[in-house]
Amino acid sequence: MAASQQQRIIFGLKIKQFRQERGWNFEELSLRTGISISYLNEIEKGKKYPLLEYRKRLSEVLEVPYDFLISPELTKEFAPLGELLHSKFLNELPLDLFGIGMQPLVEIIASDPAKVNAFISALLEIARVYALREEHFYFAALRAYQELRNNYFEEIELAASDFVKAHQLPKNGGVSLAMLTKILEEKHGCTIVSNGLDAYEPLHWLRSVFNPHSRRLLLNGQLNEHQQTYQLAKELGFNELGLKERPWASNFLRVNSFEEVLNNYKAAYFAVAILVNRESFVQDIGQFFSNEKWDADSLLGFMTKYQASPEVLFQRFNVLTKDFGLDKVFFQRVVHDLDRDAFEMDKELHLNRRHQPHATGLGEHYCRRWLSISLLHNLKTQQVKSESPNLKVVGIQREIFVASGEEYLCIAIAKPGHPTPGRNVSVTLGVLLDDNTKQRIRFWDDPAIPKRIVNVTCQRCALEDCTERAAAPTIVIRREERKKMEEMLRELTT
């Protein structure tokens, strides 16, 4: 049986370690073992796994027990490297998506294992301290891949376009639940159960579950028609694109592989592409941007026209930014836990560059001046007066970040987090307000659009007159204290 890549890497690292410990170069080891220098070099780089005869000869010459030499164990000093090699995470890294082969990575590891080991130890320590799990790396890798491709995938666009033509779906909005139900049932043999999750109380927060054995798509009975349509469109994405490795639930309970995360994104991309036709949407948004005045009703009108949620509309915009001549864009979704009055950013995407507003996993308080946060506060206030499940709050704001001076034009929609009770969500689309944006979006300087000085989190904000502050500027205070200490230290040592 051929040796695995992991076996080759570990064996090669051991040979290199024990050769260097004895102060031998390749020529010396070649003379003692009778193995060519080029072959030894390939062994140490993890490219070759020697035959039994050569493995035994290396064991004897290096005076290393044979059982240890061929075992998956590494010496104590390289234990963290072994931990990484044994984990499935290394094999799951989507290196090919970024144009990186495993072999060059192996050669880097083999070139100076001690330094690589120290680097890996630091990564593992950071992961432990901040409770980072494999799925955090998977989702981060997915975002990086989306950003690398400008969040645009021509092959999925073509597949969606062919699907729309084949099934004569309307291109100007109005893809209905009935249309997609018929296709799933007749073409893919699926059964749609509109209230299939209602009897499973622990799963009340899921939107759908697909049973691969019975081919039944179980929907949450609390979903509105637009949400049901999206779940069916996404299921069609899995089937039409032939995505086998996939999550069976609408939300991830456990992430098993990067392939699963990537395929889930592809299915969602396909769903949005068939619900919001590219040609029609580009024309609509072009007209919207050409208005001299900000018009919230037009934005809500798009939701009605395409029978789509704010997330779907904003995702479609993110995919088609180049069609609008805009690329310095960010997208974020913020969840408001009403019981705890706490805010969490559970989705974000940055195109072209790292933008100022971003998620933090440090338990800090996001700036309450953000449009996404203020709209959620407004929504909570309005919910006291209205019990409508379709209540939505739309807003626009120019946000100027206090540290960098960068300004963003932000458009956001807040709505109840249906069907999950006790949660509201807001989705925000932000565009860096540079000269190009000002030419593309005519209403950018509408006097009706408010301006706010903002920051990322309260803990990192030095603004003294902020009435919306939710926490003390602890990071700023510590930074100032450190500066004073450094100044005193300079005085003492000058």
In order of their start, the domains of the chain are: 5-132 (1.10.260.40), 148-275 (1.10.10.2910), 324-478 (no CATH)
8 A C-beta contact, residue 78 and residue 17: yes
In this model, does residue 11 exceed pLDDT 80? yes
What is the structure's pLDDT at 111? 65
Rounded to whole angstroms, how far apart are CA atoms 46 and 469?
55
Would you say residue 81 has pLDDT above 70? no
HEC profile of 129-148: HCCCCHHHHHHHHHHHHHHH
pLDDT mean over 13-35: 90
Q: C-alpha distances in angstroms, 481 versus 132, 478, 493?
A: 30, 5, 18
* Secondary structure letter of residue 162 according to DSSP: H
Q: Residue range 15-38: average pLDDT? A: 91
What is the spatial distance between Cα 312 and Cα 309, in angstroms, rounded to a whole number? 5
Q: How far is CA 248 from CA 97, 220, 260, in A?
A: 24, 14, 10
Mean pLDDT of 307-331: 87
Average pLDDT of the residues in 312-335:
88
Lowest mean pLDDT among 45-54, 85-94, 181-190, 319-328: 85-94
Q: What are phi and psi of 217, to 5 degrees?
A: -100, 110
- The pLDDT of residue 97 is above 80: no
| Residues of the chain above pLDDT 90, percent | 53
Map residue 227 onto helix, strand or coil.
Answer: helix
Q: Can you tell me the mean pLDDT for 262-286? A: 93
Q: Is 293 helix (H, G, I), strand (E, B) or coil?
A: coil
What pLDDT does residue 209 have?
A: 95
User: Per residue in 330-389, pLDDT tens?
Assistant: 999 999 999 999 999 988 888 877 788 888 877 889 999 999 999 999 999 998 887 776
Instruction: For residues 435 and 424, give the distance between their C-alpha atoms in angstroms, rounded to a whole number.
Output: 34
pLDDT, the chain, mean: 87
Judged by phi (left if over 0) then psi (alpha if -120 to 50, else beta), residue 278 lies in: alpha
- pLDDT for the residue numbered 80: 61
Torsion sign (Cα): 306, 311, 314, 316: negative
Mean pLDDT throughout 307-316? 88
The DSSP call for residue 70 is: T
Is the pTM higher than 0.85? The answer reads no
> Is it the case that residue 91 has pLDDT exceeding 80?
no
Mean of the pLDDT values across residues 307-329? 86
Residue in 368, 375, 381, 367 with CA at minimum distance from that of residue 427: 375
Query: Poorest-confidence range of 211-215, 314-318, 438-442?
Result: 314-318
For residue 75, give every residue at least 6 positions away whose Cβ sits within 8 Å of its Cβ, in sequence order, or none.
14, 17
Question: What is the pLDDT at residue 464?
Answer: 85
Mean pLDDT of 429-434: 94
Angle, helices 225-240 vs 154-166, to 10°: value is 110
Q: Tell me what pLDDT residue 89 has.
A: 58
Per-residue model confidence as pLDDT tens digits over 195-233: 999 999 888 889 999 999 999 999 999 898 889 999 999
